[in-house]
Amino acid sequence: MTELVVGTKKGLYLLEGEPGSGFEVRTRAFAGQPVEFATRDPRTGRLFAAVISPFYGPKIFFTDGDGDAEWTQADGVALPEGGDQALERIWVIALGEAEATLYAGGDPGVLFESRDGGASWELNAGLWDQPSRPHWQPGGGGLCLHSICTWPGDPDRLAVAVSAAGMWLTEDGGRSWRRGNAGINPRYLPEEALKDENAGRCVHHVERAPKQPERMFMQFHGGVFRSDDAGESWIDIGGGGLPSDFGFPLMVDPADPDSAYVIPLVADMDRVTPDGRVRVYETRDGGSSWAARGDGLPAEHAYLTVLRQAFSRAGSGEQLELYFGATSGDVFGSGDAGASWSTAATRLPPVYSVVAV
């Protein structure tokens, strides 16, 4: 049995089912409220929801029961008081390598850390105090820190991505940070701006290959990239069979560091699945070639938008399960590493995030 924790424009949904079949909605929480991201910590069973109320601001809530149990607001999810910025959004919550550690990323390009299982959080001062921060440029969705890549077995090594302030790397647990954008030369920047490290690097999503942590994959705003040196530098792997190198989500098979999955959209000016067909593209050779994996997915008149947090996995290798949700309210799943797909749920509110547990 797999659980899908689904954040939507109108609440949190907990779905459960078997890979390759339809899923049942077990619980709905935060009815009517935008849940930008939701996840469960399998170490503790604790559920988290990043609720982005347009009235009351972004909050993280957690519960140790099921989704319909009492939720508690986490402490410390705020910027320093008395400044000229407010926390706008929480984009992602990620499990840390150290016991009871979690991370949360948000807008304006901020990282929070919890060392008590998510009950209380603290702003990462190293990233907050970056001298270049006043020059960081927001992407279309704001200055969002959306990707947090831990290093298996080493809590001190972390990579985060901020749209559009690019990649940031730390090897001392977040006390100091440096950029990791070599090789990312956006087509939307004029030649002379490429030397400006503050010119926008609009990273859309980043994943690390757990078995070979130096290897990372990135879906960029026009480009798919791979790094073989832990995010220091990147090479373009967006050719080789992709219908478009624009998109948001990206996933990897933890058993295979040469694997990555993307869900291309037409382009930044037309953010829907190309040719009215929903297809996931897979590489098993580090991005040299890509193959469509669409068996069972809508094949005509399907113009879906899949957001950056709405793609998840469970298991690995031949048992790799993949799940993604669209703003159409559909959730699709594969129980055989993308070879075949089925509709896991439909007619949900617009899907913001999917996490398979």
Question: Would you tell me which residues interact with other proteins (CB under 8 A)?
Answer: 54-57, 59, 73, 78-87
Judged by beta carbon, residue 25 or residue 87, the one nearer other proteins is 87
Judged by beta carbon, residue 54 or residue 190, the one nearer other proteins is 54
Judged by beta carbon, residue 82 or residue 153, the one nearer other proteins is 82
Tokens, residue 331: 């959730």
Judged by beta carbon, residue 84 or residue 192, the one nearer other proteins is 84
Minimum Å gap between C-beta 73 and other proteins is 7
Minimum Å gap between C-beta 46 and other proteins is 20
Is residue 250 within 8 Å of 206, Cβ to Cβ? yes
Contacts of 236 (CB under 8 A, 6+ apart): 183, 223, 224, 225
Minimum Å gap between C-beta 83 and other proteins is 6
Is residue 181 within 8 Å of 195, Cβ to Cβ? no
Minimum Å gap between C-beta 81 and other proteins is 5
Judged by beta carbon, residue 145 or residue 278, the one nearer other proteins is 145
Judged by beta carbon, residue 59 or residue 179, the one nearer other proteins is 59
Residue 187 zone, left/alpha/beta (φ > 0; ψ -120 to 50; rest): alpha
Minimum Å gap between C-beta 82 and other proteins is 7
Minimum Å gap between C-beta 326 and other proteins is 24
Our measurement of the distance from residue 276's CA atom to the centroid of its chain's CA atoms, rounded to an integer in Å, reads 24
Judged by beta carbon, residue 53 or residue 132, the one nearer other proteins is 53
Minimum Å gap between C-beta 125 and other proteins is 15
Minimum Å gap between C-beta 111 and other proteins is 16
Which residue type sits at 131? P
* Distance separating alpha carbons of residues 197 and 168, to the nearest angstrom: 12
Judged by beta carbon, residue 87 or residue 357, the one nearer other proteins is 87
Judged by beta carbon, residue 72 or residue 288, the one nearer other proteins is 72
Minimum Å gap between C-beta 79 and other proteins is 5
